Amino acid sequence: MTIERSVLWTTSQFVTVILIELAGLAVIARILTPTDFGIYAAAFALFQLGQFLSQFGLHTVIMRAETLDLVFRREVVAIIATACLIVVVVLSGGLVLVPDLFPDRGAARLLMWMLPLIPLASFAMASHSLLQRQLEFPKLFVVRVGSTLLFNLVAIPLAVRGCGPSSLVAGLYASIAAHALVTNALTRGAFLVSPAFSGRGKSTRFASIVFATTAAGQAELALTPYLIGRLIDFATLGLYSRAYEIVRHSQRIVQETILPVLSPYAFKEAREGQDLRPMFLNALAYITLLAWPMAALLFAVAPPLVGVLLGAQWAEVPAILQILTLELLAFPLMAAARIFLVARGKEAVVLVQALLFAALALGSVVFLFPAGVHVVAMALVLVHAIQMVAAMIVVRSSMSLSMAALGAALWPSAVAAIAVLVPAVLIGQLGDGSVGGDALVVGGAIVVSAVCWLVAILLTGHPAGPRGRDLLRRLRTGSG
Task: For residue range 347-384, list pLDDT tens digits in order.
Answer: 889 989 999 999 999 999 999 988 888 999 999 999 99
Give the amino acid at 204.
Answer: T
Please name which of 441, 222, 252 lies closest in space to residue 328, comparing C-alpha atoms. Answer: 252
Q: Decide if 191 contacts 123 (C-beta within 8 A).
A: yes
Q: Decide if 133 contacts 59 (C-beta within 8 A).
A: no
- Whole-angstrom Cα distance, residue 143 to residue 137? 10
Q: Decide if 337 contacts 395 (C-beta within 8 A).
A: yes
Tell me how far apart the terminal alpha carbons of the chain are, to the nearest angstrom: 8
Q: Calculate mean pLDDT across residues 75-89.
A: 88
Rounded to 5 degrees, what are φ and ψ at 194? -70, 140
Q: Decide if 153 contacts 21 (C-beta within 8 A).
A: no
Kind and range of the H or E element at 353?
A: helix 347-368
Mean pLDDT of the chain: 85
Please name which of 112, 97, 145 lies closest in space to residue 44, comparing C-alpha atoms. Answer: 112
Please name which of 187, 210, 343 lies closest in space to residue 264, comparing C-alpha atoms. Answer: 343
Query: From the CB of residue 192, how many other CB atoms can be counted at a distance below 10 Å?
Result: 12
Query: Residue 443 to residues 88, 246, 301, 440: CA-CA distances in angstroms?
Result: 44, 17, 10, 5
Assign 453 a pLDDT band (cuts: 50, 70, 90).
Answer: very high
Assign 25 a pLDDT band (cuts: 50, 70, 90).
Answer: confident
Query: Residue 100 to residues 97, 165, 223, 402, 412: CA-CA distances in angstroms?
Result: 9, 19, 16, 53, 51
Q: Is the pTM of this model over 0.85?
A: no
Evaluate if residue 216 carries a pLDDT over 90. no
Assign 232 a pLDDT band (cuts: 50, 70, 90).
Answer: confident
Assign 181 a pLDDT band (cuts: 50, 70, 90).
Answer: very high
- Whole-angstrom Cα distance, residue 302 to residue 292? 15
- Whole-angstrom Cα distance, residue 62 to residue 59? 5
Query: Distance between alpha carbon 291 and the CA centroid of its chain, in Å?
Result: 13
Please give the pLDDT value at position 203: 63
- Whole-angstrom Cα distance, residue 337 to residue 331? 10
- Whole-angstrom Cα distance, residue 8 to residue 472? 11
Please name which of 458, 406, 152, 428 lies closest in space to residue 283, comparing C-alpha atoms. Answer: 406
Please give the pLDDT value at position 7: 77
Give the amino acid at 220.
Answer: E
Evaluate if residue 479 carries a pLDDT over 70. no
Please name which of 14, 479, 21 lies closest in space to residue 242, comparing C-alpha atoms. Answer: 21
Q: Calculate mean pLDDT across residues 120-136.
A: 88
